[in-house]
Amino acid sequence: MTDTLVPDSPAEIQAAVGYERPETLAWDSKLRRTVTIYIPLALFVIVLLFPFYWMAITSIKPDDEMYDYHRFNPFWVHSPTLHNIEVLLFQTNYPRWLMTTMGIAVAATFLSVGSSVLAAYAIERLKFKGAQHVGLAIYLAYLVPPSILFIPLATLIYQFGLFDNPVALILTYPTFLVPFCTWLLIGYFKSIPYELEECALIDGASRLQILRRITLPLAVPGLISAGIFAFTLSWNEFIYALAFIQSTDKKTVPVAILTELVTGDVYQWGALMAGSLLGSVPVALIYSFFVEYYVSSMTGAVKE
């Protein structure tokens, strides 16, 4: 409706907008929808995804294309090559770093989810005296950022003789994983009807039987959420891995790419991008399988 009448001055625009009473009609206008919804949304998607596109395209570009924007359009690859990925896989320790990261992430995830399940069960279902305060304390622990902990933790790790040992990371990652997972699982346990446990109690089940055969099976989606989240967070962790690990072959992917592939002043952008891309693939894969879990756990944990 306003499309046919093009207002000239700002005052007229103001007037046109002010008198737009039949909201529903305007809302249906296709042009309006395109301008106010689809174009901004498309811009958002382009901006949010462009770095990944750029990363992917750089990692398969040969060097002469990568450094010559005038002869080759930089937004496209003319003769794609796997050279960068080959360098990464066969001339560096990259496969080793991937395995280390995977091992650390899996171990830290199991440790964190295991202890979180027990803690969440105790807080939410055993309802002991002071359970609420313990829950609050655990939540506060989530608010302590790793960047104020890594210095004392480094000395602690050194005293334990775990310096330059991946076990140090497995033991320290739970400091941020356990609070998160515990809160996620408390929320999840809340959604399981308590009557089910009462029935089992009446039927003569012990508490451990109840946890193992009733509560845990029902909490599987919550456990998956907590698990994939913990895995992602451990895979992405950087500062502890940077501070506690020194030898090349024990580094995790994010640290290794930044410290081992950046040599001198000449950056091997192709290999760097290929490394970043491959390092993102495991989490991206898991993410693509469990998108709904991510979204629900992210919002669930915030809502708690």
Partner 1 sequence: MGTTTADVGLQRLTFTRKPDGWLTRLFDNKSFLVFLCMLPTIGLLVVFLTYPLGLGLWLSMTDATIGQPGEFIGFDNFVDLMSDPIFWMSVTNTIFYTTVATAGKFALGLWLALLLNHHIPFKAFIRAIVLLPWIVPTVLSAIAWWWIYSPQFSIISYVVVDVLHLRDTYINFLGTPWPARWSLIVANIWRGIPFVAITLLAGLQTISPSLYEAALLDGASGWQKFRRITVPLLMPILAVALTLSVLFTFSDFQLVYAITRGGPFNTTHLMATLAFQRAIPGAQLGEGAAIAVSMIPFLIGATLLCFFGVGRRKWQQGEAND
Residue written as token pair 């502890």: 240
Site for partner 1 in 81-110 (CB under 8 A): none
Strand, helix or coil for residue 60:
coil
Whole-number Å distance between alpha carbons of 72 and 39: 29
Site for partner 1 in 229-268 (CB under 8 A): 232, 235-236, 238-239, 242-243, 253-255, 257-258
Instruction: Give CA separation, 194 vs 48, 127, 214, 241, in Å.
Output: 43, 12, 11, 41
Site for partner 1 in 179-238 (CB under 8 A): 179, 182, 198, 200-209, 232, 235-236, 238
Q: Is the distance from CB of 38 to CB of 63 less than 8 angstroms?
A: no
Residue 18: Cβ within 10 Å count: 8
Residue 16 touching partner 1 (CB under 8 A): no
Token representation of residue 184: 């996620």
Among positions 14, 46, 69, 196, the unique one binding partner 1 when judged by CB under 8 A: 69
Whole-number Å distance between alpha carbons of 124 and 228: 22
Token representation of residue 287: 């993410």
Sign of CA dihedral 155, 157, 160, 165: negative
- Shortest gap between Cβ of 139 and partner 1 (angstroms)? 11
Among positions 45, 82, 167, 220, the unique one binding partner 1 when judged by CB under 8 A: 45
User: Using CB under 8 A as the criterion, what x/- string covers residues 131-170 for binding partner 1?
Assistant: ---x---x--x-xxxxxxxxxxxxxx--------------
Q: Is the distance from CB of 214 to CB of 200 less than 8 angstroms?
A: yes
Size of the site for partner 1 (CB under 8 A): 100
Burial of 60 (0-12, 13-18, 19+ CB in 10 A): buried
Among positions 84, 100, 109, 116, the unique one binding partner 1 when judged by CB under 8 A: 116
- Shortest gap between Cβ of 243 and partner 1 (angstroms)? 5
Choices 6-14, 48-56, 91-99, 216-224; region in contact with partner 1 by CB under 8 A: 48-56
Looking at the Cβ atoms of 77 and 253, the one nearer to partner 1 is 253
Residue 70 touching partner 1 (CB under 8 A): yes
Looking at the Cβ atoms of 82 and 140, the one nearer to partner 1 is 140
Residue 127 touching partner 1 (CB under 8 A): yes
Looking at the Cβ atoms of 11 and 47, the one nearer to partner 1 is 47
